[in-house]
Homo-oligomer: A and B are copies of this chain.
Amino acid sequence: MSCDHPDLLPLDEALQRLWNALPAPDLPGLRAERDDPATDRASMDGVALKASEGRASRRVLGTLYAGSDPAVFAVAPGTAVRIMTGAALPPGADAIVPVEALATDGDTVRPQVDPKVGDHVRRQGEQARAGDQLLPAGTPLSAARLALFAQEGQLLPLRPRLRVGVASTGNELVPHPASHQIRDSNGPMLAALAHTLGADVDLRSALPDEPAALAAALQNPGDIRILLTSGGVSMGDHDHLPGVLKDLGATILFHKIRLKPGKPMLAALLGDLLLLGLPGNPVSAYVNGLLFLSLALARLEGRAAPDPWRRARLAAAVRNKGDRPLLHPCRLVEGRLEPLPGKGSADLVTLARADALAWIDAGGLEAGTKTRWMPVV
């Protein structure tokens, strides 16, 4: 018997909806402040000379290092200047002959190759001209792009880490469980996940299955930008979160997605607070926490949307009788996905032993099929 519904929101649409609902920070464009390079530069260690003099001997006038003012030398006929990578070319020189292609005798050098104009020279402006647009406005930030901003004189500060609250829900969660109770494992799991994804983490005590307790936690979230909860989003009598959010006037971005495990996944905005209401089963909480939190952090920090998916072939068939795509725990062995005999969304033991969660389309996939997978981090 299937409890699935064809109208559930596909995962990729849910991710897109979350991305669109969150505000990106202001992402300024960047123009070149000056030519890049700002003057002709050596791209190897060697001597700077005039190419038209060919293999003739030259007297070495001195040495230019990266950052040296080249105007202290003038390369006249019969002369050359030793030069290090990154140094500006001295007046009169138009080529570099590398150290390895020189015969040296005291302060005299003789090229063993025929120099050509521009050899081993990075020409002024070859990468960009002053005023060129280097990055259009709205370009997501990255370490490489921050370097380009710095090169042009705009030192952007490191963005402070976003603060993420983590709170499991459930009356069954106690520190010293009887056989009908359990410890809170989702809280530490989601805290570690958020920490690994670069957030500051505020791990809170588990909340009871009481509307008033949930409402209080949502109305006074403290100094966090995102709240991860687990549990309370399904259809049981104790699944109070959707109703509480409705009462508080939250904007529900989506509730229920086309994914196994993880169907009850909920995302909502409550003022500036993003609530990711993860399902309570640990594998569901893990999968949805990784997918939705990594996307939300990237968006709010102005980075490009992360692509968690890689591709590999299945070493064995995986059945999927439902009509939702399944994420199935696998081990990676020699680049292939070996399915583990998992026991579903409550099976934390198998998740902890897995390297990968493999995407299994509704209906199942045969051995040897190439499919997408995400790493278990």
Contact = CB atoms under 8 A, between A and B. Distances in A.
Nearest to A375: B307
A143 B234 CA distance: 24
A126 B343 CA distance: 8
A101 interface: yes
A151 B84 CA distance: 60
A146 B175 CA distance: 16
Contacts of A178: 69
A80 to B, nearest CB: 16
Contacts of A150: 183-185, 187-189
Contacts of A209: 65
A281 to B, nearest CB: 8
A95 interface: no
B88 A185 contact: no
A320 to B, nearest CB: 17
B147 A377 contact: no
Contacts of A142: 192, 352, 376-377
Nearest to A112: B1
Contacts of A143: 189-190, 192-193, 196, 286, 290, 377
Interface stretch (A21-29, A235-243, A252-260, A267-275): A235-243
A238 B348 contact: no
Given A144-B354, A158-B192, A189-B143, A67 B349 contact: no
A325 B348 CA distance: 41
Nearest to A88: B180
A145 to B, nearest CB: 5
Interface stretch (A11-19, A38-46, A211-219): A38-46
B286 A66 contact: no
Nearest to A290: B143
A196 B198 contact: yes
A348 to B, nearest CB: 5
Interface in A162-193: 170-174, 177-193
Nearest to A310: B310
A267 to B, nearest CB: 20
Contacts of A141: 192
Interface in A72-128: 84-88, 98-101, 113, 122, 126-128
A346 interface: yes
Contacts of A262: none
A147 B66 contact: no
B311 A122 contact: no
B84 A238 contact: yes
A65 B148 contact: no
Contacts of A158: 191-192, 195, 201
Contacts of A172: 65-67, 86-87
Q: Across chains A and B, which 3 residue pairs bring their CB atoms closest together, nearest first?
A: A67-B172, A147-B189, A88-B180
